[in-house]
């Protein structure tokens, strides 16, 4: 639940999602759900020449199970807030 809440607060930010198949997609975080499935808008693929089939894709749904990383802007993260939330979850859960 912690990261679901965290990602909900990140909606609207530019992120880069790196998938387990090495595809990396940059876009605006549109929405997230309990499985950490991600919907991105205004997407651009990082290495466009390698993935010609993605040329006209502007919005996409990414299954949570295939995400390796979600790269965030450094000022987009309140690390202390996350740290506190983690401690609270650890105590409660």
Partner 1 sequence: MSWSAPDDIFFSTSLAAYLDKKLLVLLRDGRKLMGLLRSFDQFANAVLEEAYERVIVGDLYCDIPLGLYIIRGENVVLIGELDIEKEELPAQMVQVSEAEIKRAQKAEKEAMLLKGTMRKRMEFLDLD
Binding site for partner 1 (CB under 8 A): 19, 21, 23, 25, 30-33, 37-39, 43, 52-63, 65-66
**Could you tell me the smallest distance in angstroms from the CB atom of residue 18 to partner 1?**
12
Nearest to 15 by CA among 47, 38, 49, 48: 38
**Could you tell me the smallest distance in angstroms from the CB atom of residue 23 to partner 1?**
8
Q: Which residues of 3-14 are buried (b: 16+ CB within 10 A; e: fewer)?
A: eeebbeebeeee
Cα separation, 58 vs 27, whole angstroms = 9
- Between 56 and 75, CB nearer to partner 1: 56
Residue 83, token pair as written in the block? 């740290």
- Between 68 and 87, CB nearer to partner 1: 68
SS (H, E, C) 25-44: EEEEEEEECCCCCEEEEEEE
- Between 5 and 86, CB nearer to partner 1: 5
**Could you tell me the smallest distance in angstroms from the CB atom of residue 67 to partner 1?**
10
- Between 63 and 83, CB nearer to partner 1: 63
């Amino acid at each position: 639940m912690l990261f679901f809440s965290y990602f909900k607060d990140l909606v609207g930010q530019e992120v880069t999602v790196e998938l387990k198949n090495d595809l990396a997609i940059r876009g605006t975080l549109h929405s997230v759900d309990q499985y950490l499935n991600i919907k991105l808008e205004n997407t651009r693929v990082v290495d466009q020449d390698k993935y010609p089939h993605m040329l006209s894709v502007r919005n996409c749904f990414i299954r949570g199970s295939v995400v390796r990383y979600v790269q965030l802007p450094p000022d987009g993260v309140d690390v202390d807030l996350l740290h506190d939330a983690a401690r609270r979850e650890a105590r409660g859960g």
